[in-house]
Structure 1
Amino acid sequence: MSIEFITLAPTLLHVFKAGESNPKKERRIVYGQATSDANGIATFYFTDNALANGNPLLSTINYAVASVYSTNSSINARPRVQMREKNSTGKYVSANITNISGVTVLGISVLGSENPVSGVIVDFMVLGSFES
């Protein structure tokens, strides 16, 4: 197995698997960040130029994960992230970013609804394959 680091817009860790039945098929781990828009959607393009019109760094997506970081002490104000979409052409993944609005009923605080949150930086890590 050999490991190669490639510096591109998103960070890419390139792994060649020894004994792979298809020697042209390579595993890649791509890491990057995206900021949520007004609808609470963060889209991470893992292409050679980090844009939707770029060439994909992966041909298939095997696994994707997203996370956010918050130091807010209020549980309602903390952003939450959940995976939304894995693009079939291997160009992007997206996640929904929400927080909870609290509702008070008869003097008792109860959970309300989830609301989209904009401007949150989301970390993405994607594992996939690439046919070279």
Structure 2
Amino acid sequence: MGIEIFSLAPTSFQVLKAGESNPKKVKRIIYGQATSDANGVATLYFTDNGLASGNPLLTTIDYAVASVYSTNPSINARPRVQMREKNVSGKYVSANVTNISGVTVLGINVLGSENPVSGALVDFMILGSFNS
């Protein structure tokens, strides 16, 4: 099995199947980061130029995961992330970043709502296929 590392942004690893010098389909693992916008949406474009207008590094997305890092001591103020979309054309993934705010009555949170978090750095890991 050979591993090929791309110097494109985002970081991409390509894994070739053992014994095949020119496979028709290969798996790629792509890692990248994106910052959430005012609506709490973080979108990672994994194209040859890192933009929506670029050529996709994947033909299909098999699996994608997102995570967000926080050191905020308040559990409600910590951002949380959930996958939003895996693009059909294999160009991007997006995630929603939110936190919780609520009303406290007698020391108990009785009402809560999710609010978008702007400016949170989200890590994405994508596994997909690429027809060579």
> 2:59 corresponds to which residue?
59
Runs of 4+ in structure 1 deviating by more than 3 angstroms, as ranges, are: none
What is the TM-score of this pair, normalised by structure 2?
0.94
Give the number of aligned pairs. Answer: 131
- Measured in 2, the distance between the counterparts of 1:19 and 1:111 equals 59
Question: Given the superposition, is the C-alpha separation of residues 105 and 91 from structure 1 closer, same or farther in structure 2, using an over 3 Å criterion?
Answer: same
Question: Given the superposition, is the C-alpha separation of residues 58 and 25 from structure 1 closer, same or farther in structure 2, using an over 3 Å criterion?
Answer: same
- Measured in 2, the distance between the counterparts of 1:49 and 1:111 equals 44
User: Please, which moves more after superposition, 105-114 or 74-83?
Assistant: 105-114
What is the TM-score of this pair, normalised by structure 1?
0.94
Counterpart contact for 1:100–1:111, Cα < 8 Å:
no
2:124 counterpart letter in structure 1: F
> 1:29 corresponds to which residue?
29
Q: CA deviation at 1:92?
A: 0.2
Counterpart contact for 1:27–1:128, Cα < 8 Å:
yes
> 1:69 corresponds to which residue?
69
- Measured in 2, the distance between the counterparts of 1:66 and 1:13 equals 17
Percent pairwise identity:
80
- Measured in 1, the distance between the counterparts of 2:40 and 2:80 equals 10
> 2:110 corresponds to which residue?
110
- Measured in 1, the distance between the counterparts of 2:111 and 2:2 equals 50
SS in structure 1 of the partner of residue 47 of structure 2 = coil
- Measured in 2, the distance between the counterparts of 1:112 and 1:106 equals 15
Q: CA deviation at 1:111?
A: 4.9
For structure 1, list consecutive stretches of 5 or more residues without a partner in the other structure: none
1:73 counterpart letter in structure 2: P
Counterpart contact for 1:52–1:91, Cα < 8 Å:
yes
- Measured in 2, the distance between the counterparts of 1:101 and 1:19 equals 55
